[in-house]
Amino acid sequence: MVQIIPSREDSLDRLMDENAQQFSGGEESVENIVLHKLEVDKLHTALAMLTSEEQALIQALFFEEHTESELAVKLGISQPAVYKRKMKILKKLKSFLEK
């Protein structure tokens, strides 16, 4: 049995063979967490710029996970009409986010 004492200059091949992990890969970096938070804040700001009807449609489709068909029945309109409204709102959100 060979006993290897890890040193400061360990072989990459040996680490790969032993499936060793030199750096923790399970945690997200602080930079990524901050960037994600900024993106979420920007999205919330853009959502606040929508009308209450537009916000309700986005809330139902993306946060409450209703289908376009379910929403169409609830609103008394056709599914293609819901789709067109959704696409118009998403285009509006995209323009807000690109500013």
Domain membership flag for residue 23: no
Count of structural domains within the chain? 1
Domain membership flag for residue 2: no
Domain span at residue 47 reads 29-98
Domain membership flag for residue 4: no
Q: CATH code at 87?
A: 1.10.10.10
**Each residue's pLDDT expressed in tens, for the chain with a length of 99 residues:** 666 665 556 566 666 666 655 555 567 788 989 999 999 999 999 999 999 999 999 999 999 999 999 999 999 999 999 999 999 999 999 999 888
Sequence-distant contacts of 49-53: CB under 8 A, at least 24 apart: 49/96, 50/89, 50/92, 50/93
Q: What is the pTM of this model?
A: 0.65
Q: Give yes or no for a contact between 55 and 47, defined as CB atoms under 8 angstroms apart.
A: yes
Alpha carbon 26 to its chain centroid, in Å, reads 18
Q: DSSP 3-state assignment of 39?
A: helix
**How far is the CA of 13 from the CAs of 7, 18, 25, in angstroms?**
14, 9, 19
